[in-house]
Amino acid sequence: MSGPASELAHLFRALKAPAAARALPKLADRARSEEWSYEQFAATLLKTETDSRDSHESHGGQARIKAARFPARKTLEEFDFAFQRSLKKTDVLHLGQLDFLHGKENVVLLGPPGTGKTHLAIALGIRACLAGHRVLFKTATEWVALLADAQRHERLDQELDRLQRIPLLVCDEVGYIPFDPQAANLMFMLVSRRYERASLIVTSNKPFSAWGEIFGDEVTATAMIDRLVHHADILSLKGDSYRLKDRDLARPPAAKTREPADRTPRPPPPRPAERLPRAPSSPPSPKQGPPDRSRPANAAPARPTGTPPRRPPTPQGVNFQPAQRGQLSTGLDTEHGWVLGRLWFSC
């Protein structure tokens, strides 16, 4: 550790200010790049520490954060919205007020690796812990392993009941590893059991149009997406990986005839994505005119909650539609009348 860094580490220890110590490197970077005043920098750094102390003292927030098993500590304050320009800061800060949690709604974060999905999922989870809610964080693979274990011991139902009493579960990294049919069914059961009862934050590097492939079955994927997005905020992140921020790897290589890389102007930032509208209970298909009201809102194949969907009788009529530009498809065609149309967003 260099001179000033080790002195700072010593001072933070002496002041017993670990939250400020953790936040310092990123806040200092931001302060430099956003040209904060000294006062603004000092205030933000100190606020990180006082927020952390307040929550610790008043709500046992730190204990809940520990119990949530986040893979790292991340906060909304540390999130650099100038780098991740496809999100509206106000939308994310609004999520930080946790209305979604009180409404038992979900948050879905979609986007390529390194764009900050896990960071935001953790930051929202930490907010929830600090506000007095229990949270549990796992990757999709870990959730499936947990549920498979419960199933092996014939206590899957009890385990789903137990989880239902936790107001917020984070399911990170849907899509990195494809699911076998048993795993897909377990994920479906988790989502289905929590539907309108408790919140989920889900992150995925794949658009919904690819979830049929991930889950090996378009019917399961569509029924799951349907429940997930019915009451959800869906944020679509775009752009370069933050992990490669200070390396040229994130940018296209400069042509030989160009200026040296450090003087090459960066490509224009991506246009901000808009928040997806809430999925209507029976969204009309753009091709098909008014919604089919013959089925109840958010209709899916009639079956008891928690059991995986069965394939329809004429599978050749079922058509998983890949997303086109400007579209997120929830998956199936509407020929059977039980699939729920599309979500639209701006690319």
Residue 120 or 163 with smaller CB distance to ligand ADP: 120
Q: Does 84 engage in binding with Mg ion (CB under 5 A)? A: no
- Pick what 119 binds: Mg ion, ligand ADP, none; C-beta below 5 to 8 Å, kind-dependent: ligand ADP
Alpha carbons 58 and 54: distance in angstroms, whole number: 6
Q: Does 193 engage in binding with ligand ADP (CB under 6 A)? A: no
Strand partners, 135: 168
Q: Report, in Å, the least distance between residue 21 CB and ligand ADP.
A: 16
Residue 64 or 85 with smaller CB distance to ligand ADP: 85
Residues in CB range of 64: below 8 A, 6 or more apart:
129, 130, 132, 133, 134, 135
Residues in CB range of 89: below 8 A, 6 or more apart:
81
Q: Which stretch binds ligand ADP (CB under 6 A): 13-21, 71-79, 158-166, 280-288?
A: 71-79
CA angle 100, 339, 190 (to 5 degrees): 45
16, 154, 239 from 97: Cα distances, Å? 28, 38, 26
* DSSP at 313: S
Q: Report, in Å, the least distance between residue 305 CB and ligand ADP.
A: 30
Ranges within 243-262 binding ligand ADP (CB under 6 A): 243
6, 52, 85, 187, 236 from 68: Cα distances, Å? 31, 16, 29, 19, 25
Binding ligand ADP (rule: CB under 6 A), the pick from 52, 98, 106, 116 is 116
Residue 117 or 227 with smaller CB distance to ligand ADP: 117
- Pick what 138 binds: ligand ADP, Mg ion, none; C-beta below 5 to 8 Å, kind-dependent: none
Ranges within 101-120 binding Mg ion (CB under 5 A): 118
- Pick what 331 binds: Mg ion, ligand ADP, none; C-beta below 5 to 8 Å, kind-dependent: none
Provide the token pair at 290: 């008014």
Q: Does 242 engage in binding with ligand ADP (CB under 6 A)? A: yes
Is the separation of the CB atoms in 191 and 199 below 8 Å? no
Q: Does 80 engage in binding with ligand ADP (CB under 6 A)? A: yes
Q: Report, in Å, the least distance between residue 319 CB and ligand ADP.
A: 30
Size of the site for ligand ADP (CB under 6 A): 17
Burial category of 122 from C-beta neighbours within 10 Å (exposed 0-12, middle 13-18, buried 19 and up): buried
Residue 118 or 329 with smaller CB distance to Mg ion: 118
Q: Does 236 engage in binding with ligand ADP (CB under 6 A)? A: no
Site string for Mg ion, 183-212 (x = CB under 5 A): ------------------------------
25, 178, 225, 307, 309 from 220: Cα distances, Å? 44, 13, 9, 10, 6
Chain residues binding ligand ADP by CB under 6 A are: 74, 78-80, 83-84, 111, 113-119, 203, 242-243
